[in-house]
Structure 1
């Protein structure tokens, strides 16, 4: 296969703003980080692709960028220098690349303001079959409804195993599409809140009931500083275990940590590792990302990831 992973979802030129006071209507909030105007490259699709490319996999993000700023913002160089495959990058004339302002106040309350730009659904179109004919996995994250539906349909048409990163965005995933994606995905990633929402929506006593209703083989729930838990459907029944968070350096910024967990897991999965090892790789890769501001600023090489992974395993055994 030409592509190890193809990814869908928004990209984003992020500006991270931290205030020393609470953000309140009618009041001025002082910004405390001097790098508030600096652009950090983000968005689930590009985050996952970039991290996997750094680890030596051929990752193809299916994305649109703005012709006005793709080069001048450094986004092109960032993707290229990271080894990301650019075969499916489409440039939209007279438009800008998706961008967002991520605001965190003194109580760590988060506000995100997002402009979809070139990734707006009005620019969506048919995706090339050749991308899907040559892909080992298709990773669906949050994008426009039109893009999500097209990506899903092409994965199904070409029997590409689907991986779903749940983000509780029901504009991007109206109920009908959401159910189709949930029941068709081989691997499902959620956080605790998203897992509870899935259980509520489908009237499940446990998320593991999805194994009976759909195609899922693996369900992973991340729990922040409490690590993660996985459920794996096997011929011997459902295997489950909890994985502790990999803690090494100081936590600076958790933005992008969930995408990093997915990327680390998928790196292990495509390498043929056991699900538990995949979860540990996800936890370790995430530990790099939270040590610096930005979604991929501290992205490790394969050697750096495996060195820390081995230390994590040794520490667990003590």
Structure 2
């Protein structure tokens, strides 16, 4: 039972400015902004929604298949996929492009200035869901706009249940397009900000939108999450994290927990709690893919957090 994960593969270059942006950006001079920040600390992380989700699903014992597009500079990422035992059969190289990448500068107040280059991601529509075999579940995560629309339609045409996860790509779509994707999807997941935007753009309440899918999941950070299904709302508590190091990739870890629960027939309360736990395990480490608990350690952490067994 494979889960097809349509989304981005990206590099994240994270730099730390040992001062405060506010000391160097003068409000009265904002119309002629020209600043340079010395960043002695820098690290490069493997990221992207598809890469992060697949990494976490593999930790859980799932069988993720990544469907993504990469550029000429993807060699180190492809080698990493091989080392992790993650198939790259559906990772397409687009010649003459760069792999999607974010350049993030953080100051001492944790303010961030980010530049994002989509690169090969805008060609994600070149990948076709029907080219994969043995897939029983899917997810359409943030990716190129055309790819997200096409993959939603292709999953539905193939009769494969899938999660619609618009994420940071949500502003690319109008209300009609978002509603059409919801009606094609089996499940939908958004964070609380995205839920408000989804509601505004479609002109429908979250409760009404939940009627379009089997379950609509809204994450609320430290306040936990909510699962709307079967005309009711299930409140999921936030799992306590060992440390609060870096929120990058926490939403993707949560989604991996959702996919595992759906694929393995867990009830929604268990599925939501597992997803919450995966986010908590991630936030204790820097980067989207540097936490590495074993499956047994995940089960122990679930028992400690919620007082019940998972498997």
TM-score by length of 1: 0.86
- Judge which range, 41-50 or 102-111, deviates more: 102-111
Counterpart in the other structure of 1:21:
20
- Judge which range, 266-275 or 110-119, deviates more: 110-119
CA shift digits 1:39-70 (9 cap, x unpaired): 2111111111121122221111111122x322
Counterpart in the other structure of 2:29:
none
Native 8 Å contact 2:174 2:201 kept in 1: no
Structure 2 CA distance for aligned equivalents of residues 226 and 289 of structure 1: 17
CA shift digits 1:75-120 (9 cap, x unpaired): 1122122221211011222332111112333333333211122222
Counterpart in the other structure of 1:173:
173
CA shift digits 1:171-193 (9 cap, x unpaired): 64344432211222221111111
Structure 1 CA distance for aligned equivalents of residues 49 and 109 of structure 2: 25
Native 8 Å contact 1:148 1:172 kept in 2: no
Counterpart in the other structure of 2:288:
295
CA shift digits 1:235-285 (9 cap, x unpaired): xxx232322211131111100001111111221221211101111111111
Query: Counterparts of 1:26-41 in structure 2 under 5 Å?
Result: 26-31=34-39, 34=41, 36=42, 38-41=43-46
Cα–Cα, structure 1 residues 163 and 91, in superposed 2: closer, same or farther, change >3 Å?
A: same
Counterpart in the other structure of 1:57:
62
Counterpart in the other structure of 1:83:
85
The answer as to 2:126 corresponding to 1:125 is yes
Native 8 Å contact 2:53 2:253 kept in 1: yes
Counterpart in the other structure of 1:135:
135
More helix by share: 2
Counterpart in the other structure of 1:115:
117
Cα distance, 1:21 vs. partner?
1.0
Native 8 Å contact 2:13 2:44 kept in 1: yes
- Judge which range, 239-248 or 82-91, deviates more: 239-248
The answer as to 2:73 corresponding to 1:69 is yes
Native 8 Å contact 1:54 1:82 kept in 2: no
Native 8 Å contact 1:144 1:172 kept in 2: no
Structure 1 CA distance for aligned equivalents of residues 305 and 225 of structure 2: 15
Tell me the SS of whatever aligns to 2:126: coil
Structure 1 CA distance for aligned equivalents of residues 79 and 292 of structure 2: 16
* RMSD between aligned residues: 2.1
Structure 1 CA distance for aligned equivalents of residues 210 and 174 of structure 2: 22
Cα–Cα, structure 1 residues 200 and 103, in superposed 2: closer, same or farther, change >3 Å?
A: same
Counterpart in the other structure of 1:12:
10
Cα–Cα, structure 1 residues 28 and 125, in superposed 2: closer, same or farther, change >3 Å?
A: closer
Which of 104, 107, 114 in structure 1 is aligned with 2:106?
104
Tell me the SS of whatever aligns to 2:241: coil
Which of 209, 215, 219 in structure 2 is aligned with 1:218?
215
Structure 2 CA distance for aligned equivalents of residues 113 and 124 of structure 1: 23
Cα–Cα, structure 1 residues 248 and 128, in superposed 2: closer, same or farther, change >3 Å?
A: closer
Tell me the SS of whatever aligns to 1:120: helix
The answer as to 2:88 corresponding to 1:48 is no
Structure 2 CA distance for aligned equivalents of residues 173 and 62 of structure 1: 21
Native 8 Å contact 1:58 1:85 kept in 2: no
Structure 1 CA distance for aligned equivalents of residues 46 and 171 of structure 2: 23
Query: Counterparts of 1:131-170 in structure 2 under 5 Å?
Result: 131=132, 134-170=134-170
Q: How many residues align?
A: 298
